[in-house]
Structure 1
Amino acid sequence: MKLLRIGAKGAEKPAILAADGTVRDLSGIVSDIAGATLLPEGLAKIAGADINALPVLDAGQRIGPCVGQVGKFICIGLNYADHAAETGSPIPAEPIIFMKATSAIIGPNDDVIIPKNAIKPDWEVELGIVIGKEARYVEEKDALDHVAGYCLINDVSERHFQTERGGTWDKGKGADTFGPIGPWVVTKDEVADPQNLKMWLEVDGKRYQDGSTKTMIFGVATIVSYVSQFMSLQPGDIISTGTPPGVGMGIKPDPVWLKPGNVMRLGIEGLGEQTQNVRAYSA
């Protein structure tokens, strides 16, 4: 199933993309694509509905973040061997965990705002894991039982804040609008192999990232198991799993940074596409 949230900010309706391409209203079945809806029984309730009998929504409306009320937005750093190489970083011995502020979350096609005092804004196409069943001290062999589905994420970053302002990476990752997610949560039954998905990102029509989840250092099952050793994972939590090469900071000899007026387009095989206009901050 491809689940989404459609409508104005703060007033999104839960919806499903039907087989005929129409967007159907799930409001009569679930209250939101969030929390308990992403548990196995919540997804089963949707799967058991007569989708073609549901009201059709205007597909031209804004698409909101594909998951509502996200409790934790967890990220894995330097998780692609080829991306680690382009940054000159060693392969991590264990997954690098950092957090992205939930206030960064926006819809897949909402504007990305460059924050005040930014110097080096950058892009990162990433595979997102959407947690279903609660996970705590999960073994790797059981980890996928706790996954509801997957989504497309742009882990927008400010590299100066991230690496040159002291402290952790979080301050370069959590600005408002730095977390476009969606368009859909694609349930795991529709993703045959999350470790074999093509992914790409373009800025103003130029393709910078053209990779695959094949080059992940730590795969989805490993990540879910590993993170669950340090914190419990709740339904609707999101884990962003790292990016392939081609980010702005890795371009030699001169890095390329986002600027107002740029347009980012990105996609992952089977998980849809995003388009964001880049704007300057204004009070």
Structure 2
Amino acid sequence: MSTMTLAMRDSKTMLRRNLKRWMRYPSMTVLLIGMPIVFLLLFVYVFGETLGAGISGAGGGRADYIAYVTPAILLMTVTSAIQGTSISVAMDMTEGIVARFRTMAIARTSVLIGHVIGSLIQTMLSIAVVLGVALLIGFRPAAGPVEWLALTGFLLLLSLALVWLAVALGMVCKSVETASNVLMPLVLLPFLGSGFVPTESMPTVLRWFAEYQPFTPIIETIRGLIMDTPIGDSAWQAVAWCVVTVVGSYFWARKLYNRDPSA
């Protein structure tokens, strides 16, 4: 068999290993999916009426706010799901299984590829579940077939970027406990962007940060695609952030995996 065929076979084996891990630890998956749903219900049913009126004017309310906040919740779904990736990678690195893999006749990249593809599957399923809950409580997207296709592609690119970042950070962490917290800033960043309130309502310094941090154009791109509203420059900025993150995180993760274990 060719080198490519062997690498694909080994990657499938590692993917199957990660999928079986999910089935053995379903509580982690439920927790990672449950957090965005809790935030969605909290903001829609506790703050939605007031914030919706503030965003859309006197005639606005909960229905307007759910349309505004759902894109941010979808982003939070991705950032929540990749916490599981970081934890899984840290478990492999700290429990010695990776050292064993290094002694086996398998493609070195297959270990990382298995984590990445498995995490992408988990992340996209999580997005589908959270979006389903949003539809059940009144979210009504305006996207057509083209917009849905573009949104799916963009969410895949975003998930790929953050999954590779989670893989790299999981290898940096010296313990599983550290890995469970290292991605927490990514969960909080949507709050400091345009995810929950417009940046225009923020104080000057915070507004400057919110407008130029990477998650704001990402949120605006998701919002524009799913609600079929103008996106402007946010689209290319969001794609650029994702591409830079994918490339940088991939080479970082590969370097970390290939380093001398005794170093």
TM-score past 0.5 threshold: no
Compare the two structures and name the one with the higher helix fraction.
Answer: 2
Q: So what's the TM-score if we normalise by structure 1?
A: 0.29
Which protein shows a greater Rg?
2
